Amino acid sequence: MKIAAIQMRSGLDPNANLAALEPMLRKAAAEGVDYVLTPEVTMIFPENREQLSSVAAPFENHPQLKRVGELARELGIHIHIGSLPVPLEDGRFANRSVLFAPDGSQQAVYDKIHLFDADIAGLNAYRESATYKGGEEAVVTPVGDFTLGFSICYDMRFPKLYNALANGGATLIAVPAAFTVPTGQAHWHVLLRARAIETGSYVIAAAQGGVHQNGRATYGHSLVIDPWGKIVAELDHDEPGVLVVEIDPAAVVEARQRIPALANAKEFARPGLQS
């Protein structure tokens, strides 16, 4: 099966972001892909909560998603919008991933589970949970000869989620992201390779890249990793682009036979302090 990761430099205008995305979706389809993944915050990369509140559209009848569904049907491919903010009743947002089937219908949705809340010495506290509400359910769904597992950006730091996805049948795991440059340089490749190795799955990571309208800089380097942990293709830069890769379900079977970590895993009690 051919898959594609789209790298973007999303700004503050949802219609402009959609206009930038559409030709890349058409390029991927022209190269024969069955499934294409876009980055986190594809439709809007907000500067702050106030700006986000003024632009984010309700999920029902969402104008940009409606157009993506039309494109999925026209092109006859799965289109996976890595994420977009969706307003919730409590005033916060869901960071939501949406997969469209080749008939244009919404096949599956996933709300990012893990939120970045941190107190960092010398810096202001960062509370993603003040703006977003975390999801509560891991999601898998069939895509061709693969079963797709969903995750978003910060999720990649939590192996328990990826273990649950693999044990739920996932053989291809999506990681749309908007990684900062310093953390990207330090952790991007090693974390994604680890998630592929420990689950024996393909990992496809579609990233934001470059300096955005909101002033943030993201790392780029969209890539695909095979179940043995090898990077099989990468956009080795932060410019917008399309990465097309052919993947083989037999590679998942082989990797899991050679290293049967999923089958060999055991339940155990939490550690207790012994003196």
Q: Is 40 known to be catalytic?
A: yes
- Look up 31 and say whether it is catalytic: no
Rounded to an integer, what distance in angstroms lies between the CA atom of residue 56 and that of residue 83? 12
Question: Active site residue: 2, 27, 31, 153, which one?
Answer: 153
Please confirm, yes or no, whether 50 is among the known catalytic residues. no
From the candidates 2, 40, 74, 266, which is the catalytic residue? 40
Of residues 112, 133, 198, 254, which has the active-site annotation? 112
Residues annotated as catalytic are: 40, 112, 153
